[in-house]
């Protein structure tokens, strides 16, 4: 079962091309300062290194998308300590 069968069953070269296009699109949205060819090659290289490192550990190749710093929400509050008040058995 596939979530996106067409993308998930592409040959490796086509998949890497698709991922590079998506990365380029993301960088275009980030602004022109990030769009130099040197930055694009560097970001693509970083994405591939992260992808390979994860694949070596989890034994499948994950989709890796780099995002702008701060684009994910931070935690909202402190951790809550849970206390078990159930009676203890014998």
Give the number of other Cβ atoms within 10 Å of residue 19's Cβ: 19
Cα 56 to the chain's mean position, in Å? Answer: 16
Q: Which comes out higher in pLDDT, residue 23 or 28?
A: 23
- Is residue 90 domain-resident? no
Specify the DSSP class assigned to residue 86.
S
Number of domains in the chain: 1
- Is residue 81 domain-resident? no
pLDDT tens digit sequence for 39-87: 767 788 888 988 999 888 888 899 998 877 777 776 666 777 888 888 8
Q: Which comes out higher in pLDDT, residue 23 or 58?
A: 58
pLDDT at position 11 over 70? yes
- Is residue 37 domain-resident? yes
Token couple for 26: 């993301």
- Is residue 23 domain-resident? yes
Its domain, for residue 24, covers 5-58
């Amino acid at each position: 079962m596939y979530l996106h069968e067409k993308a998930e069953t592409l040959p490796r070269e086509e998949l890497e091309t698709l991922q590079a296009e998506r990365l380029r699109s993301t960088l275009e949205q980030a602004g022109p300062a990030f769009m130099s060819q040197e930055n694009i090659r560097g970001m693509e290289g970083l994405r591939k290194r992260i992808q390979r490192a994860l694949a070596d550990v989890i034994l499948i190749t994950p989709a890796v998308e780099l995002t702008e710093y701060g684009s994910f929400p931070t935690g909202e509050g402190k951790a809550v300590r849970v206390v078990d008040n159930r009676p203890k058995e014998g």
